[in-house]
């Protein structure tokens, strides 16, 4: 949970509000308090970064000074129903807290309103927990997290960009392919007990096969039919919708993990990172370097770039564009699958709609770098990853970290519409 929101958020109160989009539309607190037309609720959760705190007493005092006392449940949750609108002071009884805890915010005022449940945010943390975490340390930690996210995004966005470059198609179903990697990882490794490495390899091969297969049965025939790009784009939207619900149909709406056990953690100075993250980053760098080498040095890579630059000319000079595009789909889907698998490994897991949120980051990355340029997508992805992870440290509210990335994209389009590495547009 501390991924991203990092450092300073020491206790999380009220899961629905702070739960990031990655954990999905948050379920409401399992509260017994139902707000009505003349009833208002105040609720929250008392927890430290180690977990929820049960049996903590709180007092809720109204304007007139009448106090109500509540105790947190086993899951740290509490709620109060009040009959009057207006400000209420919520105060934690520190004597009921376990030892060695530090109360950052022990008292908060909440404006109750009929018909709604208002959250009260109280922050409590363990005494030894990074009280001394400096801004600089946070920055370093978030930078590493950002790089990690950026590398994972890069794996997927390079493929997205290559598809765009070679076919002109904005593939809205790309993120569902990322989800597919995580889902297959869950099914093969977690459910069927395949080894992580073998299973991972199988996942990537299967995903690459879906790319080959898609182009074979869908995209190539559609290109031959002369279907317009906009129409194809809407086909990808349909595919994305269908895939999402296929995942939900088969796996369910919950978040699934590839590995059950908790990962071991290493510390490098101020940076705490799981072994899995290190391995994921190393794999990403190696694979990206391999893709880059292939694009620059091999015959087929040069052909790909030629098709991407100018399909008509490439075709005229004897390059089999269909073969190149088939390969691009295969590789792009393989990379997307790998990205999804690693994403599911290094974060808390993957969910049927994880792709929805990843897709926007991918688009942002690809557009930022310049539509259709593979290396632009790489740079764009790293930037987007860093922006997402660093913006909370730099003062952006945690809820807005994805919004920040998208805002930057919109602002960039104002000044440099072709993206960082894109060529300026010409009128033909």
Partner 1 sequence: MDTIQFILNGMMREALSPQTAAVAIAVIGLNIHFGFTGLLNMGQSGFMLLGAYGFAISISNGLPMILGILFGFGAAFIFALVLGAPTLKLRGDYLAIVTISAAEIIRYVGRSALLVDFTGSAQGIPGSQYTTGFRNLSFFGTGSFTLIPFNYTDVADGAAWVRIIGWIVAIAVIVLIVMRFRSGNAFKGLLQSAGMAGLLVFGVLLLFFLFPVPYQSTGVSGWWVRFVAWGLALLCTLVVFLLVRSPWGRLLRGIREDEDAIRSLGKNVFSIKMQALIIGGLFGALGGMVYVLSSSVQPDSMGRSLTFFCYTALLLGGAATIFGPVLGSVLFFAGRIGIKYTAAAYVPDSIMSNQQTEQFSYIVVGVALMLIVIFRPQGILGNKRELRFNV
Partner 2 sequence: MSEQMADPKVDTGLADPAARRALTSGFDAVPGAGKPDPILVVDNIVRQFGGMTAVDVQHLEVQRGLITALIGPNGAGKTTFFNLITGFDKPTTAGKGAHWAFDGRTLDKTSASSVAQAGMVRTFQLTKALSAMTVIDNMMLGAQNQAGENLLKSMFRGTWAKQEKEIEAKADELLARFKLFEKKNDYAGSLSGGQRKLLEMARALMSDPKMIMLDEPMAGVNPALTQSLLGHIQNLRDEGMTVLFVEHDMHVVRHISDWVAVMAEGRLVAEGAADTVMSDPAVIDAYLGAHHDTDLGDDALLTDEALEEIAEEVAAEDAEREAEEEAEGLR
Q: List, in order, residues 6 or more apart from 385 with CB less than 8 Å away.
A: 146, 147, 148, 149, 150, 151, 152, 153, 154, 361
Query: If binding is defined by CB under 8 A, does position 238 make contact with partner 1?
Result: yes
Is 96 or 418 the residue whose CB approaches partner 2 more closely? 418
Query: If binding is defined by CB under 8 A, does position 31 make contact with partner 1?
Result: no
Structure tokens at 176: 């569902």
**Could you give the CA distance from residue 275 to residue 262 in angstroms, rounded to a whole number?**
11
Task: Pick one of 86, 87, 195, 228: the residue that binds partner 1 (CB under 8 A).
Answer: 228
Structure tokens at 254: 């919950």
User: Which residues, listed in sequence order, are joined to residue 40 by a DSSP beta bridge?
Assistant: 82
Task: Pick one of 309, 399, 407, 412: the residue that binds partner 2 (CB under 8 A).
Answer: 309
Is 280 or 386 the residue whose CB approaches partner 1 more closely? 386
Residue 397 DSSP code: -
Residues comprising the chain, all counted: 428
Task: Pick one of 249, 290, 317, 323: the residue that binds partner 1 (CB under 8 A).
Answer: 249
**Could you give the CA distance from residue 168 to residue 164 in angstroms, rounded to a whole number?**
4
User: Which residues, listed in sequence order, are joined to residue 58 by a DSSP beta bridge?
Assistant: 70, 92
Query: If binding is defined by CB under 8 A, does position 170 make contact with partner 1?
Result: yes
Query: If binding is defined by CB under 8 A, does position 413 make contact with partner 2?
Result: no
Is 165 or 200 the residue whose CB approaches partner 2 more closely? 165
Query: If binding is defined by CB under 8 A, does position 270 make contact with partner 2?
Result: no
Do the beta carbons of residue 65 and residue 86 sit within 8 Å? no
Q: Closest separation between CB of residue 161 and partner 2, Å?
A: 14
Is 234 or 313 the residue whose CB approaches partner 2 more closely? 313
Binding pattern for the stretch 307-326 against partner 1, x by CB under 8 A and - elsewhere: --------------------
**Could you give the CA distance from residue 130 to residue 8 in angstroms, rounded to a whole number?**
9
Q: Closest separation between CB of residue 316 and partner 2, Å?
A: 8
Binding piece for partner 2, criterion CB under 8 A, among 75-83, 282-290, 390-398, 419-427: 419-427
Query: If binding is defined by CB under 8 A, does position 109 make contact with partner 1?
Result: no
**Could you give the CA distance from residue 379 to residue 369 in angstroms, rounded to a whole number?**
6
Query: If binding is defined by CB under 8 A, does position 415 make contact with partner 2?
Result: no
Query: If binding is defined by CB under 8 A, does position 410 make contact with partner 1?
Result: yes
- Residues 288-309 as b/e (b if ≥16 CB within 10 A, e otherwise) read beebeeebeeeeebebbbbbbe
Query: If binding is defined by CB under 8 A, does position 428 make contact with partner 2?
Result: yes
43, 47, 74, 75: which is closest to 60 by C-alpha?
43
Binding site for partner 2 (CB under 8 A): 168, 309-313, 316, 425-428
């Amino acid at each position: 949970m501390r991924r991203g929101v990092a450092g300073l958020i020491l206790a999380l109160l009220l899961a629905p509000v702070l739960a990031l989009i990655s954990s999905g539309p948050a379920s409401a607190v399992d509260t017994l308090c139902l707000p009505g037309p003349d009833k208002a609720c105040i609720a929250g959760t008392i927890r430290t970064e180690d977990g929820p705190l049960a049996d903590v007493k709180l007092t809720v005092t109204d304007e007139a000074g009448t106090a109500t006392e509540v105790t947190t449940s086993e899951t740290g949750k509490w709620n109060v129903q009040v009959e009057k609108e207006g400000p209420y002071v919520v105060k934690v009884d520190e004597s009921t807290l376990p030892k060695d805890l530090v109360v950052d915010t022990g008292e908060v005022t909440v404006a109750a309103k009929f018909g709604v449940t208002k959250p009260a945010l109280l922050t409590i943390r363990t005494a030894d927990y990074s009280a001394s975490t400096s801004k600089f340390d946070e920055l370093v930690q978030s930078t590493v997290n950002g790089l990690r996210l950026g590398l994972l995004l890069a794996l997927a966005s390079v493929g997205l960009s290559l598809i765009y470059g070679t076919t002109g198609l904005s593939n809205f179903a790309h993120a569902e392919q990322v989800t597919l990697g995580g889902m297959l990882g869950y099914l093969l490794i977690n459910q069927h007990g395949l080894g992580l490495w073998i299973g991972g390899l199988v996942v990537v091969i299967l995903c690459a096969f879906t790319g080959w297969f898609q182009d074979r049965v869908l995209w190539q025939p559609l290109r031959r039919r002369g279907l317009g790009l906009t129409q194809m784009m809407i086909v990808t939207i349909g595919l994305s919708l269908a895939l999402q619900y296929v995942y939900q149909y088969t796996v369910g709406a919950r978040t699934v993990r590839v590995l059950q056990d908790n990962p071991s953690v290493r510390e490098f100075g101020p940076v705490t990172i799981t072994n899995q993250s290190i391995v994921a980053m190393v794999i990403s760098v190696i694979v990206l370097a391999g893709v880059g080498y292939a694009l620059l040095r091999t015959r087929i890579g040069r052909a790909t770039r030629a098709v991407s630059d100018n399909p008509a000319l490439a075709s005229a000079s004897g390059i089999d564009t269909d073969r190149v595009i088939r390969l691009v789909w295969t590789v792009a889907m393989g990379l997307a699958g790998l990205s999804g698998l690693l994403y599911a490994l290094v974060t808390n897991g993957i969910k049927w709609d994880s792709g929805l949120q990843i897709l926007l980051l991918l688009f942002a990355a690809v557009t930022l770098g310049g539509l259709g340029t593979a290396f632009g997508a790489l740079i764009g992805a790293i930037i987007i990853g860093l922006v997402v992870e660093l913006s909370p440290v730099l003062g952006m509210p945690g809820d807005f970290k994805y919004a920040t990335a998208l805002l930057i994209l919109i602002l960039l389009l104002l000044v440099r519409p072709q993206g960082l590495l894109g060529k300026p547009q010409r009128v033909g």
